[in-house]
Structure 1
Amino acid sequence: MIKKAAEKFYLALIFILLYAPILTLIVLSFNASRTRAKWGGATLHWYQELFKNEAIMSALYSTLLIALLSALIATFIGTAAAIGIQSMKRKFRTFYMGLTNIPMMNAEIVMGISLMLLFIAFRINLGFSTILIAHITFNIPYVILSVMPRLKQTNRHTYEAALDLGASPLYAFFKVIFPDILPGVLSGFMLAFTMSLDDFVITHFTKGPGIDTLSTKIYSEVRKGIKPEMYALSTLLFISVLLLLLLINFSPKDSSQKARKQTITRRSRALAFAFKRVIPTLLVLAVTAGGIYYSFQGQKRSKQKVIVYNWGEYLDPEVITMFEEETGIDVIYEEFETNEIMYPKVQSGAIAYDVVCPSDYMIQKMLDNGLLAEINFDNVPNLKNIGQRYMDKSREFDPENKYSVPYCWGTVGILYNKTMVDEPIDSWSILWDDKYRDNILMQDSVRDAFGVTLKYLGYSLNSTDLDELTEAMNLLIVQKPLVQAYVIDQVRDKMIGNEAAIGVIYSGEAIYTQNENPDLEYVIPKEGSNIWIDSWVIPKNAEHKENAEAFINFLCRPDIALMNFDYITYSTPNTAARELIEDEDIRNSKIAFPDDSELEHCETFHYLGDEADAVYMDLWNKVKSK
């Protein structure tokens, strides 16, 4: 009795571990609130928004199309290769099978980076075609591995007999050999399709702007905060797979052996019909539809275009639509998660971005390395709307204001829950208070973490003094047992859901969290902090420079800057746009627009050089490893 109860408990535990996350995801897909930390009531809104979201639907379609095309082509090439290898002498067959196995034994990241470097070396622009080529290359060995065992089981004498009876080699192959190896071919196709559908690493390294698959889209969403539409999409995918499994495994119970045989026969015929007629038809329709879709998109796109590389969720999508309609310039839009991810892609020149939005210190680094082009401000008359205060601050990283145009700015401070913190906060010292153990959230960023600590110690957040940095490192190590988690955007949801008492956060995120949870308060500590500026720049290798300047000029228009402020809640340096803000509390918000007295001890991050960056990273690794 106890044994059976234990078995049932163990089985229930396994199912809970397997399906609890999926159930959570399904529940969140019906949550009216955008944040997982707050239940806003039941709704189908996110399912409606899913089908309106062009980025997600485009990623879904691209995923299916790439998987189908790569699987078909890889199956054809792989089958032909398997036949060729099988016909070789034993030692050559062993050699080539060894070569075939190498890609499957290698880490995917090796193949991804290798293919990316190959495309760059031959000056092939990264995009849909490079992903397709990479997936075909990746899938071919799996097809060969599936077909080879079936080839070994075929009787060569039967094929030769067909030739002796007058059949052509091609006719004899399709009538004698192909039926025998068909199960292996189908198995190879399904394996290739599945591998392509599920791939992230190779896609990540070989994709270009304007193209995403579900894996790369979900990865970027996780880094910046998952949209509720993704919960809806995942729910639909889970239900689709579940229904498919139920249909495949459904079997009517019948005690009669004859009835079972009839059922098996009917099922075999149905499967045979599906493989011979339905599946090929669906594949042809899908490929044809894809070809029509991409041809239509190609005709729809104007010859004028601008390739934009921006932070995730950092521009109102409606602004892009308005720009395209007003100018006739097509926007190819791509997102990044950190400056450190953006920089090597621009530096490599693999993709010629026309306009990019880095942060202050990264702009300085790009300038020092000769990666930026001067902006022709005759094409950016709306620059007059940017406040002089922000142009002057930009001189810290762009000394002559020739290479950048401020887009958003803000501060780094402390967000705290007034119901969980019973004292006024005005200092970074609260982050080392043992009273709030396991209730403190720190930014998972080397410069932000060290910047906070250096300012608390009374040093510059741009310090390169090894003694000062070591002191900051030791203090971060002392603090680590008190920290609940090192996070990036997740601090937002955790603070809204009352999962922590104190968090280091960007001011724009603080505005959003206060709207969701009125118990939250934001403060810039008295020791000072980081004041950051994200600006638009034009890479030196930009191919559509005038279009890039037209895009920057459009974003500097007061009404457009206001739309972006309302969408992303980060402070705008556009003084004309600030005057258009109708809500007086927001227009005069100390969080969004702190006065000079609050910014007195604040600094902008500087690029400290590769050597200093290496020191910072080494010390940060020591903190994280403790």
Structure 2
Amino acid sequence: MVKKITQKLYIALMFIFLYAPIAVLIVLSFNKSKSRAKWGGFTLQWYKELFANQQIMNALYTTLVLALVSALVATIIGTAASIAMNSMRRSPRTIMMGITNIPMLNADIVTGISLMLIFVAINYTLGFTSVLIAHITFNIPYVILSVMPKLKQTNKSTYEAALDLGASHMYAFRTVILPDIFPGIMSGFLLAFTMSLDDFIITHFTKGPGVNTLSTKIYTEVRKGIKPEMYALSTLLFVSVLTLLILINRTPSEEKINKRLKKKAVQKESNSKFRIFKPAIILIVIAALIVGSFAGMKTTSGKNTLNVYNWGEYIDPEVITMFEKETGIDVVYDEFEMNEEMYSKVETGAVKYDVVCPSDYTIQRMIEADLLAELNYDNIPNIKYIGKDYLQSAEAFDPGNKYAIPYCWGTVGILYNKTMVDEPIDSWSAIFDEKYKNNILMINSVRDAMGIALKYLGYSLNSTDRDELEEATNLLKEQKPLVQSYVVDQVRDKMIGNNAAIGIIYSGEAIYTRRENPDLEYVVPKEGSNIWIDGWVIPKNSENKENAEKFINFLCRPDIALLNFDYITYSTPNTAARDLIEDEDIRNSTIAFPDSATISNCETFKYLGDAMTAYYDDKWREVLSQ
């Protein structure tokens, strides 16, 4: 009795661990609030917006087409390769099987980077075709390893007997061998389809502008948080798969089975007449999918195009549509999640972007590496709407404002819950105070974390003095037992849900969190902090520089800058756009637009060189590994 109860309890716990996260996701897809920590009531809004969201639907379309086409092609190639290998002698076959296993034993990142380097070496422009080729290459070993066991089980005598009776090699293969190995072919196809559908690494390293799968789309949204529409999409996918599994695993009654057998027997003779057309139909379907996939992709080259590379969720999609309508220029839009990721792509020239939006210290790094083209201000007259103070601040990393136009800016500060702290906070000392142990959310970013410690100690956040950096490292080590967790975007939901008293956050995120939870307050500590500026730049290898300058000029237009401010909530350097803000509380907000005294007490990050960057990384690893 006890044994049975234990078994049932074990199974129940197993299912809870497996499906509890999915259940949470399904609930969130009906949550009216965008925050994961707050229930705002039941809604179907996210399902409606899902089908209206062109970026997500394009990513879904690309994912399905890529998985289906790559799996079909990989299955054909893999099956042919398996037949060839099976006919080899033992030693060559063993060697070939060993080679087949290498990509499967290697980490995906090795395969992804290797494929990217091959494309770069042969000067092949990254795009949908490069991803398709990479997925096919990645999938072939899975097909081979599924088909080979079935080939070994095949009776060669039957095949040879068919040949002796006058059958052609193709007919004998189609009628004798193919039925025996078909289960292996289907297993290989389904495995290849699943691996392609779920892949992120291979796609990430081989995709070009405008190519996004669901995995890469979700990855680029991490900086701003995953959209609720993604919860709705995931729910629909889960329900679809569950429904298919139920239908497939339904056991028909004996009467239904007999009826189906009789029906098949009647149709067998008539269907045999059309058997010759089946391969042609399959080829037509594959060709249609490939042609359709290319038709759905915007071209990445040409005088009437613009390749944009921006942070995830960092522009109002309507702005891109408006720009395309007004100028007739097709925008191919791509997103990145880290400055380092963007820098490596621009540096290698694997993809030629026309306009990019890096952060301040990365802009300096790109200038020093001679990767950027100087701007022609005759083509950017709307620069007059960018505040002089912001242009002056940008000179810290772009002397003379030759290469960059400020786009968004903000500060790094403390978000605290007024009901969970003893008194208003105005100093970094709060995050090092033992009374808030396990109630502190520290930012998981080397420059931000080290910068906070350096400012608290009275040093520059761009310090290169190793003694000062050692002191900052020790301070962060002492703080670690007080920290609940090291986070970036997760701080929003945790603070909204009252899961911590204090969190480090970017000012733009603070505006959103205070809307969701009025008990939250944001402050830039009196010791000073980081004031960051993201700006638009044009890489030297841009093929459409004039279009890029038109785009930058368009974004500097006050009404367009206002649309972007409302969408992303990060502060705009466009003073004319600020005057257009209707909400007086937002227009005069000290979070979105801090006073000059606060700004003058802040610093922008500077690029410190590869050696010092590596040193910072080493110090941060010391803190996290303690």
The TM-score range, normalised by the shorter chain, is: over 0.9
Q: Tell me, yes or no, if structure 1 residue 139 matches structure 2 residue 115.
A: no
Matched to 1:174, the amino acid is R
Match of 2:226 in 1: 226
Q: Tell me, yes or no, if structure 1 residue 456 matches structure 2 residue 456.
A: yes
Match of 1:595 in 2: 595
Following superposition, the deviation at residue 269 of structure 1 comes to 9.2
Q: Tell me, yes or no, if structure 1 residue 561 matches structure 2 residue 561.
A: yes
Following superposition, the deviation at residue 407 of structure 1 comes to 0.6
Match of 1:385 in 2: 385
SS of equivalent to 1:408 = strand
Q: CA 1:268 to 1:445, structure 2 compared with 1: closer, same or farther past 3 Å?
A: farther
Name the CA distance, whole Å, in 2 between partners of 1:319 and 1:291.
Answer: 29
Following superposition, the deviation at residue 437 of structure 1 comes to 0.9
Q: CA 1:109 to 1:263, structure 2 compared with 1: closer, same or farther past 3 Å?
A: farther
Name the CA distance, whole Å, in 2 between partners of 1:107 and 1:204.
Answer: 14
Matched to 1:361, the amino acid is Y
Matched to 1:476, the amino acid is L
Following superposition, the deviation at residue 581 of structure 1 comes to 1.1
Moved more, 608-617 or 154-163: 154-163
Match of 1:483 in 2: 483
Following superposition, the deviation at residue 244 of structure 1 comes to 1.0
Alignment of 1:22-33 (within 5 A): 22-33=22-33
Match of 2:74 in 1: 74
Matched to 2:312, the amino acid is G
Matched to 2:564, the amino acid is N
2:75–2:140 contact (8 Å) kept in structure 1? yes
Q: Tell me, yes or no, if structure 1 residue 578 matches structure 2 residue 586.
A: no
Give me the TM-score of the superposition, normalised by structure 1. 0.94
SS of equivalent to 1:216 = helix
Moved more, 386-395 or 285-294: 285-294
Match of 2:192 in 1: 192
1:42-92 superposed Cα distances (whole Å, 9 cap, x missing partner): 000100111111111111111111111111111111111111111222221
Alignment of 1:277-316 (within 5 A): 285=285, 288=288, 291-292=291-292, 294-295=294-295, 304-316=304-316
SS of equivalent to 2:599 = coil
Match of 1:416 in 2: 416
Following superposition, the deviation at residue 364 of structure 1 comes to 0.7
Following superposition, the deviation at residue 476 of structure 1 comes to 0.2
Name the CA distance, whole Å, in 1 between partners of 2:480 and 2:264.
Answer: 61
Alignment of 1:420-431 (within 5 A): 420-431=420-431
Match of 1:500 in 2: 500
1:440–1:482 contact (8 Å) kept in structure 2? yes
1:385–1:576 contact (8 Å) kept in structure 2? yes
Following superposition, the deviation at residue 17 of structure 1 comes to 1.2
1:221-275 superposed Cα distances (whole Å, 9 cap, x missing partner): 34531110010011111111111111122225x7xxx6597499689999x99xx
Alignment of 1:134-533 (within 5 A): 134-251=134-251, 262=258, 285=285, 288=288, 291-292=291-292, 294-295=294-295, 304-533=304-533
2:298–2:332 contact (8 Å) kept in structure 1? no
1:414-448 superposed Cα distances (whole Å, 9 cap, x missing partner): 11111111202111000011111111111111000
Name the CA distance, whole Å, in 2 between partners of 1:610 and 1:616.
Answer: 10
Q: CA 1:35 to 1:387, structure 2 compared with 1: closer, same or farther past 3 Å?
A: same
Name the CA distance, whole Å, in 1 between partners of 2:262 and 2:493.
Answer: 53
Name the CA distance, whole Å, in 1 between partners of 2:293 and 2:148.
Answer: 36
Moved more, 47-56 or 260-269: 260-269
Following superposition, the deviation at residue 203 of structure 1 comes to 1.2
Moved more, 297-306 or 572-581: 297-306
Following superposition, the deviation at residue 385 of structure 1 comes to 0.6
Q: CA 1:549 to 1:169, structure 2 compared with 1: closer, same or farther past 3 Å?
A: same
Matched to 1:76, the amino acid is I
Following superposition, the deviation at residue 302 of structure 1 comes to 8.1
1:224–1:337 contact (8 Å) kept in structure 2? no
Moved more, 587-596 or 324-333: 587-596
Match of 2:88 in 1: 88
Q: CA 1:55 to 1:367, structure 2 compared with 1: closer, same or farther past 3 Å?
A: same
1:65–1:287 contact (8 Å) kept in structure 2? no
Following superposition, the deviation at residue 186 of structure 1 comes to 1.8
Following superposition, the deviation at residue 321 of structure 1 comes to 0.3
Identity of aligned residues (%): 68
Q: Tell me, yes or no, if structure 1 residue 45 matches structure 2 residue 45.
A: yes
Give me the TM-score of the superposition, normalised by structure 2. 0.94
Name the CA distance, whole Å, in 2 between partners of 1:298 and 1:539.
Answer: 21
SS of equivalent to 1:190 = helix
2:65–2:289 contact (8 Å) kept in structure 1? no
List runs of 5+ in structure 1 lacking aligned partners.
none
Moved more, 18-27 or 286-295: 286-295
Name the CA distance, whole Å, in 2 between partners of 1:235 and 1:543.
Answer: 41
Following superposition, the deviation at residue 291 of structure 1 comes to 2.2
1:302–1:329 contact (8 Å) kept in structure 2? no
1:172-223 superposed Cα distances (whole Å, 9 cap, x missing partner): 3222322222222222212211221121111111111101112222222345
Match of 2:34 in 1: 34
Following superposition, the deviation at residue 285 of structure 1 comes to 4.7
Q: Tell me, yes or no, if structure 1 residue 117 matches structure 2 residue 127.
A: no
Following superposition, the deviation at residue 168 of structure 1 comes to 2.6
Name the CA distance, whole Å, in 2 between partners of 1:296 and 1:78.
Answer: 28
1:68–1:283 contact (8 Å) kept in structure 2? no
Moved more, 430-439 or 181-190: 181-190
Name the CA distance, whole Å, in 1 between partners of 2:519 and 2:217.
Answer: 33
